[in-house]
Amino acid sequence: MTWLFFAIGLVLGSFFNVVIWRIPRGESIVFPASHCPDCGHTLSAWELIPVVSYLIQKGKCIHCSRRISWQYPVVELIAAIGFAYYASRGLTWPTLVTKLVFFSLLLVAGAIDLKHRKLPNVITIPGMVIGIVLALIGWSVPISASLLGVTISGGLLMVIVLITKGMGMGDVKFVGLIGAFIGPWPALGSIFIASLMGAVSGSIYLFITKQGRKTPIPFGPFLALGALIGSEFFL
């Protein structure tokens, strides 16, 4: 069961990479088939094998030698390890499915924000709706908690964003998504954990480089991590 889900995570991780690459560029996630963004060479079946193909090709396109981002094997491995971890915990099917959907959304949104400094609506809004639907059919938190999660946690972050101007509306919708899945208090806990991690990382960055950042650190990856930790502690 665990290894099966490890394999499923690898394959889905490969799909997540396509989503992470194409969504911020406004491209379709279905067409065309996976190809090298530089020379346009369409990837053959063996080049689509997660992680393994990256290692065989030594991280380069076999046609034009363009470097393939290490994001690809890393996202595939994180997805595989996450899927295996949740599958190994003996959860009921509804809880397992909910956790896997939540984890996948956090991974994709966090990676897009890390790379592109944006949290696209096409991820956060459908994600929020999925969270509410899963609560409605009784697969996650009670529906009241899910709706309060969207409104209270999302609303609180909106106030913070309006006051500090340090984050954007993408972060607000992302917190709404988190609240829809885990309810208001765990979502607030996630924001708190994310803020702590963000502050610590910012200080370390400042200490190492001895200079401030001109561009702000994206908050999405910290929110994703905070929500993963939060969902383990509070649920």
Q: Which residues bind Zn ion (CB under 5 A)?
A: 36, 38-39, 41, 61, 63-64, 66
Sequence-distant (≥ 6) Cβ neighbours of residue 228 within 8 angstroms: 103, 106
Name the minimum Å distance from CB 67 to Zn ion: 10
Q: Is 32 left (phi over 0), alpha (psi -120 to 50) or beta?
A: beta
Contacts of 33 (CB under 8 A, 6+ apart): 42, 43
d(CA 235, CA 231): 6
Instruction: Name which of 63 and 213 has its Cβ closer to Zn ion.
Output: 63
DSSP, residue by residue, 122-139: HHHHHHHHHHHHHHHTTS
CB of 192 to Zn ion, least distance (A): 44
- Which of 81, 136, 123, 118 shows the shortest CA–CA distance to 216? 118
Q: Which residues of 136-152 are buried (b: 16+ CB within 10 A; e: fewer)?
A: eeebbbeeebbbbbbeb
Min dist. Cβ of residue 63 to Zn ion (A): 4
* Minimum distance of Zn ion from residue 36's CB (angstroms): 3
Our CB check for Zn ion shows the closer of 43 and 158 to be 43
Q: For the chain, give the number of residues.
A: 235
Q: How far is the CB of 59 from Zn ion (least distance, A)?
A: 12
Which one, 43 or 130, has the nearer CB to Zn ion? Answer: 43
- Nearer to Zn ion (CB atom), residue 35 or residue 213: 35
Closest to 14 measured CA to CA, from 55, 38, 56, 48: 48
Q: What minimum distance in Å lies between the beta carbon of 60 and Zn ion?
A: 8
Is residue 70 exposed (0-12), middle (13-18) or buried (19+ Cβ within 10 Å)? exposed
Q: Which is nearer to Zn ion, 41 or 118 (CB)?
A: 41
Pick between residue 47 and residue 171 the one whose CB is nearest to Zn ion: 47
